[in-house]
Structure 1
Amino acid sequence: MSDSHPKDSPPPSKKQNSAGRRSFIVGGALLGVGAIGYGLISRHGTQGSVNPAALIHAASDGTPRVGGTLVVGEYQEPTVFDPNHQYSWETYRVDRHIYESLVGEDLSRPSSDGPPPLIPALAESWQVSDDATTFTFKLRRGVKFHDGAQFDAHAVEFNVRRFHDKSFEYYDVKANAFMKAVYGDLKSFDVVDDYTVRYVFNKPFRDFPRMLPQGNYVSGIFSPEALKTWGQDGLAEHASGTGPFKLVTRVHGEKTELARHEQYWGPRPYLDKIVFRPIIDDSTRLAALQAGEIDILTRTPADAVQPLSSNGYAVPEGTGAGLLYLGWNFKNKFAQDVRVRQAIIQSIDREGLAKTLFKGHAIASYNILNPGNTAYDPAQKDFAYDPDAARRLLSEAGFKDGDISFTIATDEANQPSIEWIQRDLAKVGINVKILSQEWLTYTSNLPHLSDDIALASMEWGFVTPLWLRIVYQGYVVARGGKDLLGPELAASIDVASVEPDEARAIPLWKSANGLLQKQAGVVPLLSFTRYFSTSPKVRGFNVPAQNWYDLSHVWLST
């Protein structure tokens, strides 16, 4: 086995991390590379004493100030604060401060550094077998949940059994459905001792540690006592984790308020409170920032980037792990023809969308493996913008202008992008209707798309190439496209998924991605480059190459 825990020594070289003498591999990046700030990670050693908060604030202006309330303006209403029931980035941006996983991510690193290194969280160290099927975690001692209950191996066991063990008194079908993408191949879970747990998978699962701190399929650990007290659905309203902040109140449509957890095991947060306010309308959210009603604005309107930057607000540049894309509904008769799918992609001016609608504060995407993904290759593209070629394909498929008509479903935030696509497709004789709904309604309807809907928008992405398998399962197989896209693609994804060696896995993922692109199996659109804005008084806020952030070391100047 190889293990991972901090050590005050330089990280091993790439040569040392090759097969046969490898550090613990994480989601497309060797854990030994670039783990500065939480101690350096290597194959051997003990935990160092580097304080992450000190590193973050060393470059901040002024002295960190304790106290105050930070207000975040979210562009969507969060779903639920239950780690096994929730989805959406705006939800995870809240509840990752309430719940913690065994493994965390160093979100103090800027997006230019690439995927955030994995770091110890509720596990102080971990080991992975050479075949990447067995993962053993040494748990942190002296940690308590917000409700005062003790964190230990038995608490982790309760969490796992909730979504994995059908014989368990507190087994939950909904949690099982949400967590299956990560734990569907789990063979066994064992409590080795009070502070050691072991997961064994039927097949190699190299990306398992990287999946632990991800939004969606969240492996945040909740207090078993909270679930016993409040029930499966009540946990979300009475969230109890081990994180640096605890839930005070949730008023749907208005706010979520968190308060500092004074007994937190890690560095003490500077802020007294964090308030998350869902403000769906872009102009209203922007006005709230300019009026001083919020301190951080999510999803900055493209027109506002320059004015904000010129008036003392920070609008940091960088690409995260996500992108905006369209998934097919293969029940739609037009989506079943590969020539139509290819023609639709060729008809969309993605460069124009990024440069015009988003004022150059986004980059066109030709690849579902997003820029923050470790298997991303900018040279790997699907189809260039070519309306003439699109018309020829449609003609070969037997379609004339006006023959093809369908609906694109979207959430309200992405409606302007879909209107752009509607105009582009009209230029090649395709008629598009738009179904736009607020986020929670939209996502609740996604599993039940009617046959007239050919495409549906989504904004998502992971730093690990396992993202390709998630896309395939969720937007191809689940929507009736497995046979249409062929067995070669399915087999290619299966092979890449179980390859335990990093150097061999990346080319396999790229090969599978090429097959998906050839089949036009998904429609990538763009990645945002100016996503967050902060008021001049916000200090220590960092935008990592991820879809979320860490507010536990942010502070407010006077």
Structure 2
Amino acid sequence: MKKRKRWLAFLMSAALVLGLLSGCATEQTPSDSDTAQSTFVFGDTTFNAENEEPDINPHNTYSGWACIRYGVGETLFRYSDTMEIQPWLATGYELVDELTWKITLRDGVAFSSGRAMDGEAVKECLEHLIEVHDRARSDLMIDTIAADGQTVTITTTEPRPTLLNYLSDPYGCIIDMQAGITEDGMVCGTGPYIADSLTTGEQLELKKNENYWNGEPGFDRVTVLTISDGDTLTMALQSGEIDGAYGMPYASYPLFQNDDYTFSSTATSRAFFAHMNFESTIIQDPAVRRAIAMGIDKERFVRDLLGGNGYPAIGVYPDNFSFGGDAVTAREYDPDGARAVLEAAGWVDTDGDGIREKNGQTLTIRWLTYPSRQELPLLAESVQATLGDIGFEVIINSTADHNSIRVDPTAWDVYASAMVTAPTGDPAYFFTTHCLDSSAVNNGHYHSDALERLATELDTTFDTDRRAELAVEMQQILLNDDAFVFCSHLQMSMISQSDVEGLVAHPCDFYEITVDLKPVP
């Protein structure tokens, strides 16, 4: 692998703090001998507190994504390339009855701490998870957990058809609770790499797990660098200062479409979408919500601003899902129709300045978003232009501080974000996290009696065909209410130097640094 001196010089010149923090795996400070080891350096735009990933502790907000992506943690079950559940740390399960799941664990797996992974260790991990993680507690609905050797029996408070799906969520990474979670969010998992040090928002240092249960990791060390600026990420990969990249700007793709680099791309359910704030007086007007939905040019956004690296969204899920976009109907881009809707509702431009008014209030929308997902500022600019043409004033606030702002319903009208809407391969995930009274991130405080009733049925329905039917009905309620506007789904790409293999894009966007990542022989 190439030398990193220029990259470290860049970091120092940018006044980044690279203090190394002590982790549970080792207290060793990298020495000169490390330079002889094979090292993979990975640039990622999303590993930061802005995306609720300040560390690698899966029991902390969304930090499980970093834990599983960077090869530290693994879950009991995982997803195949076709998003089907398959065993991972578990070898199988038995559905004893609608409330009881008996899971058999894999023999011969140990944590990086050296402790064997058995039923008691899994029990301790899951019990702590549901104690401290609100979303996991709501998703899993665990009543009791019993351990017996290499089996774990989980009893839920009510039928939970999606239990295995939720156990495969990144928060389900099995970690050694006896080794503990450090103040800096370091954990001991079962993955191919062991966390050495972590500086939030800057870098994570990993070393090979010499005792990994599922093969030999391909690199001695891995460095994950948080590089939020797309131009900096581009230059780092071009110069060879990093070996792979996640979140590369689309405008930079042509620079890497040659034999010096390897592309891995896949369609995902990651959606870029807008939440309507039902606490906002202006958004409470159905005509305003409808006009916004009709005033966003999704085709142009994908074609011109994303360079075709995605596809326009209709509903929550992409077309290749059985409950996806083709099954529902959304507002089409229709600026003339949007103007007519606003006119009929009394929103008119009385002073000729191009902005409509009603009862002395201007048609001003405060559009909140964030920059670490490069697509979101582009979406904001596109929306500002197309909604401006029909009489809106759109004030954009693209800030890394969006998480503290979105919880204040007086501070925004529309919040644009990105998420993988079906990371578990099941339709329930988006609704339970975003749309219900009990949802952890129902940012706009949306409520629908009909949606709540269908969600209750979905929670207890084991039949997959019926689950798909319910997902279609529930999406249509959201679209009819203009509660959300789904703009596009992502064609996700990973780019690596040609002397690296095994950096592969996955539809669920979970698995990045794996045991298969290695230098080309």
Report the TM-score, using the length of structure 2 for normalisation. 0.83
Q: Could you tell me whether the CA contact under 8 Å between 2:271 and 2:489 is conserved in 1?
A: yes
Q: Tell me whether 1:527 sits opposite 2:489 in the alignment.
A: yes
Report the counterpart of residue 36 of structure 1 in structure 2: none
Cα pair 2:295 2:386 within 8 Å, conserved:
yes
The equivalent position to 1:430 in structure 2, one of 362, 369, 392, is 392
Secondary structure of the residue aligned to 1:238 is: coil
Identify the residue that residue 68 of structure 1 maps to in structure 2.
38
Distance, in Å, in 2 between the alignment partners of 1:67 and 1:266 is 21
Tell me the secondary structure at the aligned position of residue 252 of structure 2: helix
User: Are 1:138 and 2:101 matched, yes or no?
Assistant: no
Secondary structure, aligned partner of 1:315: strand
> What SS does the aligned partner of 2:366 have?
strand
Quote how far apart the aligned CAs of 1:235 are. 5.6
Task: Confirm or deny: 8 A CA contact 1:321 1:373 kept in the other structure.
Answer: no
Give 1:67 shift.
6.8
Aligned to 2:367: 408
1:557 and 2:520 are equivalent in the alignment: yes
SS at match of 2:507: coil
What is the aligned partner in structure 2 of residue 221 from structure 1?
A: 174
Name whichever of 315-324 and 339-348 sits farther off. Answer: 315-324
Match for residue 454 of structure 1 among 414, 432, 442: 414
User: What is the rounded CA distance, in whole Å, between the counterparts of 1:373 and 1:249 in structure 2?
Assistant: 39
Question: Which secondary structure state, in structure 1, belongs to the residue aligned with residue 178 of structure 2?
Answer: helix
Q: 1:242 to 1:419 in 2, by over 3 A?
A: same
Checking the alignment, whether the CA contact within 8 Å between 1:334 and 1:454 is kept in structure 2 is no
Q: Which runs of 5+ in 1 are unaligned?
A: 1-65, 165-170
| Structure 1 residue 379: Cα displacement | 4.5
Matched residues, percent identical?
21
Partner of 2:315: 367
SS in 2 for 1:363: strand
What is the match of residue 339 of structure 1?
A: 287
Preserved contact between residue 67 and residue 173 of structure 2 (Cα < 8 Å): no
Given candidates 187, 203, 211, the residue that maps to 1:263 is 211
Q: CA RMSD in A?
A: 2.3
Alignment partner, residue 119 of structure 1: 86
SS in 2 for 1:457: strand
Q: Structure 2: 5+ residue runs without aligned partners?
A: 1-35, 349-355
Residue 41 of structure 2 aligns to a residue whose secondary structure is strand
**CA pair 406-178 structure 1, distance change in 2 beyond 3 A:** same
- TM-score using structure 1 length: 0.77
CA displacement at 1:394 relative to structure 2: 1.6
Q: Is the 8 A contact 2:420 2:508 kept in 1?
A: no
- 1:537 corresponds in structure 2 to 499
Asked whether the 8 Å contact 1:372–1:546 carries over to 2, the reply is no
**How far apart are the structure 2 equivalents of 1:303 and 1:263?**
41
Q: Is the 8 A contact 1:94 1:276 kept in 2?
A: no
Q: Call closer, same or farther: CA 1:494–1:338 in 2, change over 3 Å.
A: farther
The C-alpha deviation readout for 1:88-126, integer Å capped at 9, x for no partner, is 68625545x1122211233xx3xxxx32x3222221211
User: Is residue 327–residue 475 contact of structure 1 (8 Å, CA) maintained in 2?
Assistant: no
Count of residue pairs the alignment pairs up: 461
Partner of 1:349: 297
1:237 equivalent to 2:237? Answer no
Aligned partner of 1:28 in structure 2 is none
CA distance in structure 2 between the aligned counterparts of 1:449 and 1:311, rounded to whole angstroms: 50
Provide the residue aligned with 2:145 in structure 1. 189
Cα 1:481–1:383, aligned 2, differ >3 Å: closer, same or farther?
same
Do structure 1's residue 479 and structure 2's residue 444 form an aligned pair?
yes
How much does 1:130 deviate? 5.8
**Residue identity opposite 1:145 in structure 2:** F
**Cα distance in 1 between the residues matched to 2:261 and 2:241:** 14
Structure 1 CA distance, aligned partners of 2:184 and 2:173? 13
> What SS does the corresponding residue of 1:224 show, helix, strand or coil?
coil
Tell me which residue corresponds to 2:16.
Answer: none
Q: Displacement of 1:365 after TM fit?
A: 0.9
